[in-house]
A and B are shown apart, each in its own frame.
Chain A
Amino acid sequence: MTNPVTLLIIFGIVLVLLFILFYPKTGFYWRLQQSYKTDPKILIEDILKKLYHAEDNGTKLSSDHIINSLNSSPKKILETISEMEDKELIRFKKGEIKLSETGMDYALRIIRVHRLWEKYLSEKTGFHKKDWHEIAEKMEHKLDSQQTKQLAINLGNPRFDPHGDPIPTETGEVEQLNGKPLPKFKEGAIGRIIHIEDEPEIIYKQILAEDLHIGSHIHIIEKNKKRIVFHSEGEEFILAPIVANNITISELKKEDISEKDTFRLSNLKEHEHAKIIGISRECRGEIRRRLLDLGFVMNTKIEVDLTSPMRNPRAYLVRDTSIAIRNEQAKFILIEKIKIHAETN
């Protein structure tokens, strides 16, 4: 019989090899697969998008900017740019690149697919927010106009993507957002989050970690060069201005909002009573419908019934029934605490 130690070592080596080959994303096999596909079409479309966003922000782009911001070889990018000029997608104006009319149309089409696909991911799939952008980046190059149209119809021709960005229509119209970045507001201002920018990724991840929701009301408490403090849904948030800059707020007048104290259901303590005010817009698709169907609708009385051994999920008493949901979903249900005086038996 072979020595067991030798056998185990051989086994270990095989395991390590498989690991190196197939480790998700960075595995050798996947990289090899990846290196096969760099499509000139994708590069063109990526450049168009860059230009569109730049024009939208009012910044100017030269070829150098583009070379620095995309990770393809400079040679290839320059070739592509001149090809795009030949096709009259772009024009040069004093060293600065501008989109032509056709280029603009093309760019809007790509952006439409991108945002529709993010909407699709948010409504119909279980992918996490942080992955939407990356997946949509791939899909935007793949869908033709017929498929895009079908997708839009299936989603009910949405007007905004899940980040609050307007989705260009088929004819290339884009709605304007009438809000300003969070740091532009003064202390004491009250507003509603209408958009959260998902690029760059580092900042988006920080915002995600804070767990802010589109559609929630915020109240700015403190603002200075170092930080902005605000309240939303019964919780306090502290952000650096650079992070806050990626959150767009539309201001609300004091009269527009009732002076109710809104909390998240996940914050409800045992023995407290509450009434449901609504479900956050951040909660979408199937799960939103399921919660509504289960009776988590406006003005329903609710209290905590049971807490599982690991504190999540919890069961709530809604319309005489105990329904268990995870804290991740309870967070989206907005409540107002109510007092019940005589504790009934």
Chain B
Amino acid sequence: MKTNKILNTSNDLRWQIGEGFHDKLTEGIYSDAATIAQNSVHKKGDAKRFRFDRSLDKIVTSKIWGFPIMILILSVVLWLTIIGANYPSGLLADLLIGEIYPWLKGIGESLGFSWWLSGFLFDGVYLALAWVIAVMLPPMAIFFPLFTLLEDFGYLPRVAFNLDHLLKKSGAHGKQALTMSMGFGCNAAGVIATRIIDSPRERLIAIITNNFSLCNGRWPTQILIASIFIGALVPENFAGAVSTLAVIAIALLGIFFTFIVSLFLSKTMLKGEVSSFTLELPPYRPPRFWKTIYTSLIDRTLIVLWRACIFAAPAGAVIWLISNVSIGDSNIANWMILHMDGFGLLLGLNGVILLAYIVAIPANEIVIPTILMLTVMSAAITGVGEGNGVMFELESVPATGDILKAGGWTLLTAINLMLFSLLHNPCSTTIYTIYKETKSVKWTTIASILPIILGFTVCFIVTQVWRILA
């Protein structure tokens, strides 16, 4: 065949040219480029790199300041998010649950909805949505713009530059720092971002460990629990700072687990050598402040929120269903809680939390409302909540704490919940994205199961050690 002839000729010629083909060609192109550039580019003076850029780079990558600055920036962003989100969250909850919810119920009644339809729609679907909006919108509306500002400024590549050595030590790729950063917003986005890693082995590591970057559906859980249980340990003046510290500790623990699990994977399932790392460090570009805030509010925040709502609505419905459909003499929810309680307690959690995490597989955002609802139902606390399967947001943080304490929660439960929220399976969107990116059932399964095993193990050890010490 003719095409075979072409291929044969090319093979012969390749043999004759020998190894240096690519080198010579690139050198040729670059020397063409140099000639062309010389003809048309005129540099006045010596504009190597802007002085400001260089001095700043010297500091953010310096031996002494490199790492502290990274942690400082993370802390400031989180602190602003926690402090700043409190007030608007309360307002939104008042509005959506205090005002609109009764109003909707009223409408349902006047239209003559049967109890189950009104329950299903308003107590299930609507309340789930309301919770997601009230709890997620404010922190996201602060976190995303801040993060985007950092990204547009050009700080992320410097983080990758600083962290590369540690990542290399754990058998991973330096650009994993970038995909981790994306994961702080959304794990599914982080998983897609791993495409910048061109070594398949290191890319898989980055995909599997992306889940250890606390995503935006989990920040609110961390913040709420830290405020209720850990902030409350200290005088009120320090509460904000201490809860921020607790959340930062969890975030750093996540980074630590990223390293450990990367190391584990590269020693076992994904054996192989570290490949190379090349990264262009772009110049700093002063972001256009208002425009950035505006766009990241509009697209990032609202799009992620939209996604959360889509998942929250059916989940709300499911919660309502399992707590109202009964088998034998109790409802499904109660039955499951009862059966999982023993295992849960072994891990310092309880049946309610485990069931909540099953219900919340589609979206991490609804873990807390599910827990509250199930707690009320199973502990049969009178005077709060509206009835079986009704999700609600309590107006004040201390009130939420009271319910949880009445449900048997201790400081240990809170710590374990924070740990488990960090270390559990990725949400369904992320799992699906992992499958799309890896095209492998095996790796998708590993990526989903590994964090749970880790979560169980860590919670178990913490609990048992706590019991010995206490």
Contact = CB atoms under 8 A, between A and B. Distances in A.
The answer on direct contact between A and B (beta carbons under 8 Å) is yes
A61 interface: no
Max count, chain A CB within 10 A of own CB: residue among B54, B281, B461, B468:
B281
A323 B279 CA distance: 6
Contact of B281 (A5, A24, A320, A324): A324
Contacts of A8: 461, 464-465, 468
Max count, chain B CB within 10 A of own CB: residue among A1, A4, A289:
A4
Contacts of B277: 313, 324-326, 329
Interface stretch (A31-39, A221-229, A292-300): A292-300
Interface in B180-205: 198-199, 201-202
B274 interface: yes
Contact of B15 (A159, A291, A297): A159
Contacts of A289: 22
Contact of B278 (A5, A127, A158, A290): A290
Interface in A40-96: none
Interface in A1-30: 1, 4-5, 7-8, 11, 24
Given A7-B464, A309-B63, A326-B277, A317 B49 contact: yes
Given A286-B198, A326-B164, A297 B464 contact: no
B39 interface: no
Interface residues of B, number: 54
Interface string A247-258: 000000000000
A321 interface: yes
Contacts of A308: 61, 66, 161-162, 164-165
Interface residues on A, range: 35 or more
Contacts of A1: 345, 467
Nearest to A8: B464
A297 B30 CA distance: 8
A159 B18 contact: yes
Contacts of B166: 310
Contacts of B460: 7, 11
A136 to B, nearest CB: 15
Interface in A196-229: none
A312 interface: yes
A158 B198 CA distance: 24
A270 B44 CA distance: 25
Contact of A326 (B30, B54, B61, B168): B168
Contact of B22 (A159, A288, A294, A324): A288
A100 interface: no
A323 B278 CA distance: 7
Given A153-B11, A306-B58, A323 B174 contact: no
Nearest to B21: A156
A305 B464 CA distance: 51
B23 A306 contact: no
A312 B174 CA distance: 11
Interface stretch (B115-123, B265-273, B324-332, B403-411): B265-273
A298 B276 CA distance: 20
A325 B278 contact: yes
Nearest to A155: B14
B281 A322 contact: yes
B15 A125 contact: no
B103 interface: no
B9 interface: no
Given A8-B464, A288-B22, A309 B67 contact: yes
A221 B276 CA distance: 34
Interface string B255-297: 0000000000001100111111111110000000000000000
B467 A290 contact: no
A295 B161 contact: no
Contacts of A281: 19
A339 interface: no
Interface in B443-470: 460-461, 463-465, 467-468
Contact of B201 (A24, A126, A286, A300): A126
Nearest to A130: B273
B237 interface: no
The 6 closest A-B CB pairs, nearest first, are: A309-B66, A310-B165, A4-B464, A4-B467, A128-B273, A292-B26
28 contacts: A4-B465, A11-B460, A24-B268, A24-B271, A125-B272, A126-B199, A127-B272, A157-B14, A159-B18, A286-B198, A286-B275, A289-B22, A291-B278, A297-B23, A297-B26, A305-B54, A305-B281, A306-B57, A306-B58, A306-B61, A306-B161, A308-B162, A308-B165, A309-B63, A311-B165, A323-B280, A326-B277, A345-B46
Interface of A: 1, 4-5, 7-8, 11, 24, 125-128, 131, 153, 156-159, 278-279, 281, 286-295, 297-298, 300, 305-313, 315, 317, 320-326, 328-329, 344-345
